[in-house]
Amino acid sequence: MIMAQHRILVTNDDGIDSRGIFALVQAMRRLGEVVVVAPDRQQSAVGHALTVSSPLRAVPFYRDGSMFGYAINGTPADCVKLGVSCLLDQPPTMVVSGINHGSNASVNAIYSGTVSAATEGTLMGIPSMAVSLNTFDHDADMTLAAEVAYMVASRMHDMQLPKGTLLNVNVPTVGQPDFKGIRVTRQGHSEWRDSYERRKDPMGREYFWLTGDFVTVEPHPDADDLAVQDGWAAVTPIHYELTNFEAFHRLQSFAF
C-alpha cells in the first residue's frame, strides 16, 4: 500500500551535492513530494552530533537550474530537526537518509551520520530509514541502492514498525543478476581493530591518522554485514532503547 500523498524529507551525511542523495531523491519522487534538507559539506563519521554552540543557516541549493533543497551548515541530525521544525510547512510522512557511500551495517551504525539522521526522525515520531551502499567508491553505480530504497520505503507503512524503531538498510555492490533480494536482518557483531599511522610533519612534530581493519567477531547467520557480503540488501530494525535489561534486572539488588 502506498499512502495517498507522501511528503518525504531526504537528507544524508555526504553533503547536498553528492551523487547518493541525487539518486535517492529521484527514487523518492516516485512515492510523493520530496524536500531535501542536507549538510552543505561532507559530515562522515559525525555520529549523532547536534550543533548547539553556533547558529544554523538554511541556504537554497540549486541543481541543473532548479531548486534542489536546503543546504545547512550543520550535521545530519541538525538537518532533520531544523527541517521538521522550521523549513517544512507540515511534518513529513517519512525521513529517508542516504544513499551513503560506505556500509553502515554492524557497529558502523553507531558512528554513522546517515543513521543518526534517521534516528532523529524516529525520535520526532516520523517513520525513518537510512540507506547505505557497501562501497567507498564515489563513482559507484547507485541504481540498485535507489531501487531498494524505493521498495523498502514503499512498504514501510505495511511493516508497522513500533514507535522509536527505524530501518537501517545496507545494499551490496553487485550487479542485478547477482542480487539475491531484500532480507530483514539483525545488527552484526563485527568491530574495528583500530590502529593509527604515526607521521611527522615538516617541523618534526608527530601526528596520527586513523586506520583499521573490520573484523567479524560473532558470525550470526542473520547479521546485516554478512548478508550484504552474501549479495542481499539487509534491512535491520534498530532502536535506541539502550538499557541492557538483563544487567538492569540482575543488578537491582546490587549494594554500592
Which residue in the set 184, 214, 216, 229 belongs to the binding site for its own copies (CB under 8 A)?
A: 184
Residue 162: strand pairing partners:
none
Contact between residue 90 and residue 100 where contact means Cβ atoms under 8 Å apart: no
Nearer to its own copies among residue 65 and residue 181 (C-beta): 181
45-84 residues near its own copies, rule: CB under 8 A: 45-53, 55-58, 75, 77-78, 81-82
Enter the C-alpha cell of residue 109: 551504525
CB within 8 Å of 243: residues ≥ 6 apart: none
Joined together, the cell numbers standing for residue 184 give 530483514
Residue 194: strand, helix, or coil: strand
| 86 is a site residue for its own copies (CB under 8 A) | yes
- Bridging pattern class, strands 165-171 and 232-239: antiparallel
Exactly one of 15, 157, 222, 229 binds its own copies (CB under 8 A); that residue is 222
The yes or no reply on residue 236 touching its own copies (CB under 8 A) is yes
x/- track of binding to its own copies for residues 97-116 (CB under 8 A): ----------x-xxx----x
CB nearer to its own copies: pick between 143 and 195: 195
Dihedral angle sign, alpha carbons of residues 179, 184, 190, 192 = positive
Per-residue cell: 77: 541530525
Identified binder of its own copies from the candidate list 33, 159, 219, 230, rule CB under 8 A: 159
Considering only 30, 138, 180, 199, the residue that binds its own copies (CB under 8 A) is 199
Residue 138 binds its own copies (CB under 8 A)? no
